[in-house]
Amino acid sequence: MVSRRVILAAIVALLVIVGGLALTAGPMTLSVLDGLVGGGRGTARVRSGVPFGTHGQTLDVWRPSGGAREGLPVVIFWYGGGWVHGDRAAYAFAARAYAKAGFVVVLPDYRKVPSVRFPAFVQDGAEAVRWTRDHVRQFGGDPGRLGLVGHSAGAYTVAMLTLDQRWLRAEGVDLAIVRAAVGLCGPYDFYPFTAKRAIDAMQGAADPHMTQPIRFARADAPPMLLITAGDDTQVQPHNANNLTARLRALGAPVRHIDYPGLSHENVAMALSKPFRGKAPVLADSVAFLDANLKAR
């Protein structure tokens, strides 16, 4: 009789060969595939659906299932979806990836267009940082070793919270709490708005220039890693190229990595175990975070 494990392995192998299923069916399918091939081994979701903020937002908390019980570095991960789609449950694969690498991971939801416009999703991000500062110790995390990571629209939130000091200050959070930031295929310099999602998301901003992360580049910014995909047709590479150049000109610590041949979605997929061979997105981002989140 063929064992259940062999059957599962055959199914997973077929899905991985097909590959495009994870892309067309969305990140939830990717999380299922990741779980089937052991992406969650060595990790635990220790809280699910935790309320935070002032608008009914919720978050999950993941951590390594073994090893040190306290003092662990912390990552807050924001998913993408054009400010319109996405939910934390579908991005378990990303949380598990960073938890397996030794981080306590906070995975928050945020409000979406058309129910809200700028700056609501950035404000939700700031509230997630405040919650993490106040509560992450109970899960073994050290709020003094905090890094921000995001993909696409989530990378926009990362850049705004890292560079534009208005949002954390409004939540009473010390600006120095962010010690490192990683943006995966994020929009940082996209005004004038041409894409419908950007037009919708930024609609009504009194000064559209103030929606642009590059506007807030500063010499004392924490270290940033900006990752791009060579075949990204959704978020043009000039976003990261321009922000990298601006930060370097100011003397701020920044690194830019481009993965030729990858699409916008491929960069997120590469965080999952089935598709990690596409590019060392996880390894590169973890190395960057480890280097900058060392215990003081």
What does residue 226 show for φ and ψ, rounded to 5 degrees? -110, 120
What residues pair up with 141 in beta bridges, in sequence order? 72
pLDDT given for residue 18 in this prediction: 43
- Indicate the burial class of 199 (C-beta count within 10 angstroms; 0-12, 13-18, 19 or more): exposed
Assign 6 a pLDDT band (cuts: 50, 70, 90). low
Cα 90 from Cα 271, distance rounded (Å): 13
Residue 208 DSSP code: G
Assign 14 a pLDDT band (cuts: 50, 70, 90). very low
pLDDT above 60 for 10 = no
Find the mean pLDDT for residues 224-229. Answer: 98
Cβ contacts of residue 149 below 8 Å, gap of 6+?
75, 76, 77, 78, 98, 158, 181, 182, 184, 285, 289
Assign 69 a pLDDT band (cuts: 50, 70, 90). confident
Q: Which of 16, 20, 60 is nearest to 38 (CA)?
A: 16
Pick the CATH number of 42-292 from 3.40.50.1820, 3.40.50.11900, 3.40.640.10, 3.40.50.1260: 3.40.50.1820
Structure tokens at 127: 């509230």
What does residue 96 show for φ and ψ, rounded to 5 degrees? -65, -40
Cβ contacts of residue 215 below 8 Å, gap of 6+?
164, 209
Assign 238 a pLDDT band (cuts: 50, 70, 90). very high
Find the mean pLDDT for residues 108-132. Answer: 98
pTM for the structure as a whole: 0.93
